[in-house]
Amino acid sequence: MSNGDIFVGEVIGTAILILFGAGVCAAVTLKHSKARASGWVVIAFGWGFGVLAGAYTAAPLSGGQLNPAVTIGIAVDTGKWDKVWVYLLGQMVGAMLGALLAYLVYLAQFNANVTSGSGEDGADDDGPTPTLGIFSTIPEINNPVANLITEIIATIALVLPILAFGLTKGLGESGTTALVVAFLVVGIGLSLGGPTGYAINPARDLGPRIVHSFLPIPNKGTSGWGYAIIPVAGPLIGGALSGLIYNAAF
């Protein structure tokens, strides 16, 4: 695969992943969304289907890794680092693009994020909806050490099985395997996502967080930069540890 193919594939695949993921978070969170308050299970499946769609789409071009933690895990396992920078760049650009597309889909709902007063239906409005969680992860308890450990373990639960599945050439080469990985992401969300919101992907958190910081969203609040290192460092550490564990054990 050429550097150009890898870059384009990762941009497109990661953008689709984030479009689905941020999209389902917006659907469940924002006022005037028909899916508002649908719950955590809906969010978990939305992200899983995003992985599936992104991996299928990117497979012919890049293999569809879509996640710096996966890319680092594969590199640690195989010792091949020459293409890593291309994957990481494509994933970051794609994550930002996907977040922007999700914002455009829900533009009217974001603009209706009012502070107080009566809604269009005449009912009392309970104030603005926090929007950062649509784009990036927010821990339930602000404990950096515990949250870092959670992200490391959750990422190992993702990357180590991927390596064991024989996916060192990418997530999307086998339709069956891509489906398995999609359900793996759903399972991680349901089982391990409670403490931090399961970033398990540095690009998935950092790219949309950057986009959130400059979008003109009414009453959007802070972009949470004090926490931003955790969902980047945790998955990168988890990905690297997965590669080391796989090399040692298999």
pLDDT, tens digit, 9 for 90 and up, residues 235-249? 999 999 999 999 999
Place of tokens 């917006």: 26
Mean pLDDT of the chain: 91
pLDDT, tens digit, 9 for 90 and up, residues 156-210? 999 999 998 875 454 445 557 888 899 999 999 999 999 999 999 999 999 999 9
Q: Give pLDDT, residue 201.
A: 98
Q: What are the residue ranges spanned by the domains of the chain?
A: 3-111+137-249
CATH, range 3-111+137-249: 1.20.1080.10
Instruction: Note the helical H segments in the chain.
Output: 3-29, 40-62, 68-78, 84-105, 107-111, 132-135, 144-164, 175-192, 202-214, 230-249
Q: Give pLDDT, residue 125.
A: 53
Q: Give pLDDT, residue 176.
A: 78
Q: Give pLDDT, residue 124.
A: 45
